[in-house]
Amino acid sequence: MTVREAVLGAIREGQGQWVSGGTLSKGLKVSRTTIWKQIKILQSEGYAIESSPKRGYRLSIFPDILSTEEVEEGLETQVFAREHYYYFKELDSTNNYAKKLAADGHPEGTVVIAESQSSGRGRRGRQWYSDPGQGIFISLILRPPLPVNELSRINMVIALAIVDTLK
């Protein structure tokens, strides 16, 4: 675990309460300056961390950002993204990347996510517009024991599950 991950974890565990820089420094065996630098990095990534000279640091609101930590924290799955999860700010195509991983033997449940794609593809090879800030682009490796003519139903089931989750 990196110092950044440990600082984020400690502040998250504080559940909105102040966590002193001294406590973080002693617990992680690093200087207060190192803690301060990690806080600045987290803030630049979109975490709303307040600081107070007498009290320390606290996460004022949970971020609405796409990050490995935030995704892993919210996972309630048994298969998807448990072992293999790949996140990119930008990628040519999540589908192409997932196909390469599948060909290399990555297991079912591998997830590839990008905030934008430079060469995204839709059904029947159509261009898929995936500009930054306009969506989350995901490809999954599935190995279902279904006949080929029933595979198209999987997309509908996954789409409905995503809609239910977002509600």
Spatial distance between the Cα atoms of 62 and 19, rounded to a whole number of angstroms: 16
Closest CA to 39 of 61, 59, 22, 55: 59
pLDDT tens figures, 110-141: 889 888 888 887 777 788 777 777 778 888 88
pLDDT tens figures, 30-39: 999 999 999 9
Q: Is the dihedral of CA 40, 16, 32, 1 positive or negative?
A: negative
User: For position 116, what pLDDT does the model report?
Assistant: 87
Residues 51, 40 contacting (CB under 8 angstroms): no
Asked if domains 3-61 and 68-166 share a fold, the reply is no
Which helix H or strand E contains 56, and what residues bound it? Answer: strand 56-61
Q: What is the mean pLDDT of residues 97-107?
A: 94
pLDDT tens figures, 18-29: 999 999 999 999
- Which of the listed ranges 22-26, 59-63, 110-114, 157-161 does the model predict with the highest average pLDDT? 22-26
- Give the gyration radius of the chain's Cα atoms: 20
User: For position 63, what pLDDT does the model report?
Assistant: 66
Q: What is the mean pLDDT of residues 47-66?
A: 84
Domains in the chain: boundaries: 3-61, 68-166
Percent of the chain with pLDDT over 70: 87
Spatial distance between the Cα atoms of 137 and 96, rounded to a whole number of angstroms: 12
Give the CATH number of domain 3-61. 1.10.10.10
* More confident of the two residues 31 and 1: 31
Spatial distance between the Cα atoms of 27 and 158, rounded to a whole number of angstroms: 42
User: For position 24, what pLDDT does the model report?
Assistant: 92
User: For position 67, what pLDDT does the model report?
Assistant: 65
State the CATH class of domain 68-166.
Answer: alpha beta
